[in-house]
Structure 1
Amino acid sequence: MDHPHGGFDTAEGVSVWVVVVRLALLLVSALIAGSGLAVTVPKGVRAANFALAAVAAGLITVSLVAFDAHVLGAVAHGVLVALVPVLLGKPAVRWVAAALTLLLVIETSVGDSGLLLVANTVYVAGAVAWVALALTPGARFRQHALSLGVVLALAGLVRLVSSGLAFDRRIYETVLGLGLVVVVLLPLAALGIRRCGTLAVVASLLAWSGLAAIPSPQELPIPGVPVLASAGGVPVLISPHRPGPNLVHFPSGNHRVKVGDGPEIAAVPSAGADGTWALVDLPAGRGEIRVNDDFGVSFDTGTAPGPAADVECASAALGGLASGRRDVLTSCPADELSTEDADSLTKLVTFLKNKGVTSVKLVEDGTPRGVRAAALVRSSLPVSDSGDALVVLSGWSDGYRALSRAGVEQAESPVHPHGLYVAPWLLTAPIATSVTTLAVPLRFDPREQLPIGYAIEVGNEFGGTNPTPAGFRSWLGGRSAGDQVQIYAVAQVTAMPMGPGEAHGPGMPMQEELAGQWVPKATVVPVSPVLS
């Protein structure tokens, strides 16, 4: 949940002024509709209705001019609020008032369906009916008001329960939770009271409609489940979400992070990874980090230890969160060499030997995955600093730096005449574009529907971030990406090369900067048959 210092925080992309104008128009229209539905109205109501209709016309004009409101809907709204005072006292006014009430239900139900749509219909129509009852002299007010108040409270209770906030602390810790409580309790507080009760019901109607403009609160943090939240509209990832060192990740930009009374820590780029990262120490238990000193993101690290704070591990966690799962992070990709990656590297070695490569230069690291991967290559190919090919088996940071150096060397002279190769887990946009071209053994085609779907989904979830193999594997959640290995070339070119008669890559027309691309401004295409 965002906790800004002062001001009313609205849902992302919603202007405060839009909310103010729409709530004011709702209030005025509900009063007009209620007076039109009243059995009889006191003297002076007609004049008041003309004044309210003039206010509504002004608000509708502002909505059209400043906020790009729907023209037909605005015109219909304006006609109905103008007709009610004109027809007041005549039988036809009730039909017009009923139509205006229906329009208010439609305008406040955008995006609702099923039980929520029913609840919204009941709440809006019930509030208008209360106004009509209060304006009718001599009506059996207390008896009818009791029924209406209970109905409104029940509709509010439906919305409260369906929000998912009813049974946890967010009901009293967040603006949305408090608003939901208001729409339940205010109608009950108004029971049997004509004037003050009507004000309470009108206020509850405004609160009901204003709920749509309040951002949804952050999911309650669970120890060990990386936190994906928003800080002023900026996505934030906290991983591994355990006591001790944690990475706070942003898609891009200059952001600062503060924990408690500690110093502010700047988020900076990390070699081989997208976005910016801040390494912070989180205490055990519940707390909150401050982002740019303006927004808070809650955490609950628990007390148990967790995996290391690692950028690839965080990317894997983000893939799982983008798929809707909230799994406890117990290990990182570099903790072991998976069966699939071992098979891919074995086939890469065979491919290199068949090409005539007699030795390779290895870039490795000390992680369990890196040690096993290096041993696998060494068991089949000699290793030397002047190898025919460079094979990178390290993590992201070391791989990025090694390839950047190799790219400079290759530009001066072909140090590795058979080219540069990376392990399957190193297909990140920064690594792939650190050199003019490289090759990678993959079990999936990045141009196909499933990888593109993941790339789009994770980009939408986290500010346009690029996909990664670690994130893709977590996003798949145990599903197989494929069992056939091919060598793919990654090249920084703007045209998609296709072989004679080859079908166009699914979802990948010949232009750059397309949603779902694994490496922007580059191509990723197979350059080998399926390896056996």
Structure 2
Amino acid sequence: MEHPHGGLDAVVETSAWPVALRLTLLLATAFVAGVGVVRPLAPALPRRVVLSVAVASALSAALAVVSAVAMDVAVVGAVAHVVLVAAVPALLGRAGPARAVAVALAVLLVVETAAGRSGVEFVADTVYVAGAVTWFGLAVLALTVPAAEVASGLRPRQLALALGVALVGAGAVRLVASGVAFDRRLYGTWFGLALLAVVALPLAATLLGPARAYRYGTVGVVLAFVAWSGLAAVPRPDELPTPGVPVLAEKTLAGKRVPVLVAPHRPGRNLVHFPASAGDGIRVGAVPALPRAGAEGTWAEVDLPAGRSEIVLTSGSDTAVVDVDTGAGGGPRVDPECASAALGGLIAGRRDVLAACPSDRLSTVDEQALRKLVSFLVARGAGGITLAADSTPRGVDAARVVREEAAGAGVAIDAEPRPDNALVTVSGWESAHASLTAAGAHQAERAVYAHGVYLAPWLLTTPLATAVTTVSVPLRFDPREPLPIGYAVAVGNRFGGANPTPAGFEAWLGDRAVDDGVRIFAAAQVTAMPAGPDEAHGPGMPMNEELAGQWVPKTTVVPVSALLT
């Protein structure tokens, strides 16, 4: 989700009236600032110009007040805006002060237009706004003040050419930086068309020549400035689909922006995933998106043809289209955990072909964590281990590892729940959810699993960690540390409040590695956060409130063992 930056440009909703308010506010302000900037070039301004500036100033001030009252706009910025825009017409009789205040207003206009951007985009915004403001002021002089009265040395031809070049250059920089300059999104999306307008319209105005540029070309510059200001309200188009690279898009359905993930983005069976915040009732073609055991949000299985096509999303009477291009090759059979891993990589900015899924193999670090878990249970005196696995390659190998370690320690492996046992779940999400649900039912009937319920490292997800009152997990990272919190915040922001997963975290990390040694962490549905062994207090973000960055909302996750060796 996007967070406003605090200036008058914080309003980026795509509903009509906030956008219209923003564009009118910025355009009126640019006109006022432009006239003030060029005021010293003429001995006096015609009465009709002074009156027009006063009207535009009143309109700009009123809209700034409305923005502060009705929308999430910084009050300090709105007050500064009102003071400066009201001062310009009041000072038009004094050329020097009028210019000084107008320059300050132009600087504020740059901030209001470019807030939240940096680097090349910020420079382009600054040049474009300054160029448009100056153009408006010079056009007023050229059209209302006799040439003989304008300050000597003013060369309309050269000024028109210089301003036109500045506007076209800044627009071209923004166009290239947008990433849509060289593909079909340039002419196939509103965002691309707006960028075309900010380049083409000033270019056309410049080619008219100075006399006609200020008379007729100013209309083009006005439209270009409106298009530039409106870019903040136009959704940036999704990346073009690449065969084999899962698609992460955001569409408007039922009046709200809804993220959607398509994986593996190959011909044949694909999973289409929506966050829980998208709500129920979404259909993918004729297939309803439904919850799946052990996973968050809703899911639809659809068959996609080879090559380019479309996925039609429906919610009530509203529809949206997701472009896909599956190519001609095959891909892995994706489950929700695999889709979560793909999402983690996409959020990190990588567009890698999805060639394998986490359940295809047992990683070395997960194998080591499971062996240390069994040793931990043996040291605690567990009478046996009830093992829950599945038939995936990872599940088979994980079950073998647990049996080997248990056999070496003389601990029995059981298939049924027993009072003195520990339950160890090493399956995938769906099977693990079934095992944990059954465990909760058994515990409600009689005393079982006195030595606890344990999950494999890849199972620390919200649906699984909250399936029973308390679970424990052998982890190589602390969910309260900055990197795991950063990923949790990123996935929540980008995918409708989704919660983190170990598979997504590993994909998000990429080449980075987090290995703090294996410790047992407990996830309990309580509101207190006791310190772990050898800790004065828990590091990082507190986990006893519903705050951004929590791995399991409303659940305490803390270490309950020292490092396992």
| TM above 0.5 | yes
Mapped partners of 2:479, 2:413: distance in 1: 30
1:334 aligns with 359
- For 1:73 and 1:51, locate their aligned partners in 2 and report how far apart those are by CA, in whole Å: 21
Candidates 469, 480, 485, aligned match of 1:452: 485
Q: Which residue of 1 aligns with 2:414?
A: 384
Counterpart of 2:328 in structure 1 is 303
Scaled by the length of structure 2, the TM-score of the pair is 0.84
- CA drift of 1:183 comes to 0.5
**Equivalent residue for 2:268?**
244
User: In 2, are the aligned partners of 1:443 and 1:483 still within 8 Å (CA)?
Assistant: yes
Residue pairs, 1:415-494, within 5 angstroms: 415-482=448-515, 484-494=517-527
Are residues 1:179 and 2:194 paired? yes
Q: Deviations over 1:130-183 (max 9, x none)?
A: 233333233754443233222211111111112122122211121111111100
Secondary structure, counterpart of 2:520 in structure 1: strand
1:187–1:395 CA distance, 2 compared to 1 (3 A): same
96-105 vs 363-372, which moves further: 96-105
Residue in 2 that maps onto 1:23: 23
* Partners of 1:483 and 1:507 in 2: CA distance: 15
1:227-266 matches, within 5 Å, as 227-232=247-252, 233-252=257-276, 253-258=279-284, 262-263=285-286, 265-266=287-288
- How far residue 360 of structure 1 moved from its aligned partner, in angstroms, is 3.0
Separation (CA, whole Å) in 2 of partners of 1:446 and 1:409: 29
> Which one of 149, 153, 167 corresponds to residue 152 of structure 1?
167
Distance 1:484 1:426, change over 3 A: same
CA-CA distance at 1:499 after TM superposition: 5.9
Q: 2:69 aligned with 1:65, yes or no?
A: yes
Residue identity in the other structure for 1:174: T
RMSD over equivalenced CA pairs, Å: 2.6
SS state at 1:278 partner? strand
Q: How far off is 1:527 after superposition?
A: 3.3
- Contact 1:12/1:215 (8 A) holds in 2: no
TM-superposition CA deviations, 1:382-402 (whole Å, max 9, x none) = 433345333222111111111
Query: Partner of 2:413: helix, strand, or coil?
Result: coil
- The 3 A distance-change label for structure 1 pair 143 and 426 is closer
Choose which of 502, 512, 521 in structure 1 pairs with 2:554. 521
Using a 3 Å threshold, how does the CA distance of structure 1 residues 520 and 32 change in structure 2: closer, same or farther?
closer
Alpha-carbon distance between aligned partners in 2 of 1:241 and 1:83, rounded to the nearest angstrom = 58
Q: CA deviation at 1:241?
A: 1.5
Whether 1:113 aligns to 2:137 is no
Q: Structure 1 pair 529/72, CA: closer, same or farther in 2 (3 Å)?
A: closer
Aligned residues: 519
Q: 1:46 and 2:50 equivalent?
A: yes
Partner of 1:132: 137
| Helix, strand or coil at the partner of 1:299 | strand
The TM-score with structure 1 as length reference comes to 0.89
Distance 1:220 1:500, change over 3 A: closer
Structure 1: how far apart are the matches of 2:391 and 2:491?
30
Cα 1:49–1:244 change in 2 (3 A) is: same
Amino acid at match of 2:23: L
Q: Deviations over 1:68-125 (max 9, x none)?
A: 6444544444444444444446533444444433332332222233333332232222
CA deviation after TM superposition for structure 1 residue 510, in Å: 6.4
1:348 to 373, 386, 399: 373
Counterpart position of 2:304 = 282
Task: For 1:432 and 1:68, locate their aligned partners in 2 and report how far apart those are by CA, in whole Å.
Answer: 36
Letter in 2 for 1:201: V
Contact kept? 1:229, 1:237, Cα under 8 Å = yes
- Structure 2 unaligned segments of length 5 or more: list them: 1-9, 148-153
Alignment correspondent of 1:268: 290
Which segment is superposed worse, 470-479 or 207-216? 470-479
Letter in 1 for 2:115: V
- Aligned partners of 1:516 and 1:88: how far apart in 2? 53
Contact 1:448 1:505 in 2 (8 A): no
Contact 1:512 1:521 in 2 (8 A): yes
Q: Which amino acid letter does the alignment assign opposite residue 126 of structure 2?
A: T
Contact 1:254 1:266 in 2 (8 A): no
Q: Give the secondary-structure state (helix, strand or coil) at the position aligned to 1:318.
A: helix
Q: Give me the whole-angstrom Cα distance separating, in 1, the residues matched to 2:157 and 2:225.
A: 20
What's the counterpart of residue 503 of structure 1? 536
Q: Any conservation in 2 of the 1:241–1:299 contact (CA below 8 Å)?
A: yes
- 1:91 corresponds, among 95, 98, 104, to 95
Distance 1:255 1:475 in 2: 30
Which of residues 233, 246, 259 is equivalent to 1:213?
233
Q: Confirm whether residue 393 of structure 1 aligns to residue 426 of structure 2.
A: yes
Please say if 1:226 is aligned against 2:246.
yes
Q: Tell me the secondary structure at the aligned position of residue 371 of structure 2.
A: helix
Aligned to 2:376, the other structure's residue is in SS state: helix
Which one is further off, 151-160 or 10-19?
A: 10-19
Q: Give the secondary structure class of the aligned counterpart of 1:360.
A: strand
Give distance in 2, aligned partners of 1:80 and 1:479. 49
What is the rounded CA distance, in whole Å, between the counterparts of 1:335 and 1:502 in structure 2? Answer: 37
Q: Percent identity?
A: 59
Shift of 1:508: 4.4
Distance in 1 between residues matched to 2:32 and 2:89, nearest whole Å: 8
Letter in 1 for 2:162: S
Give 1:522 shift: 2.4
Kept in 2, the 8 Å contact 1:488–1:527? The answer is yes
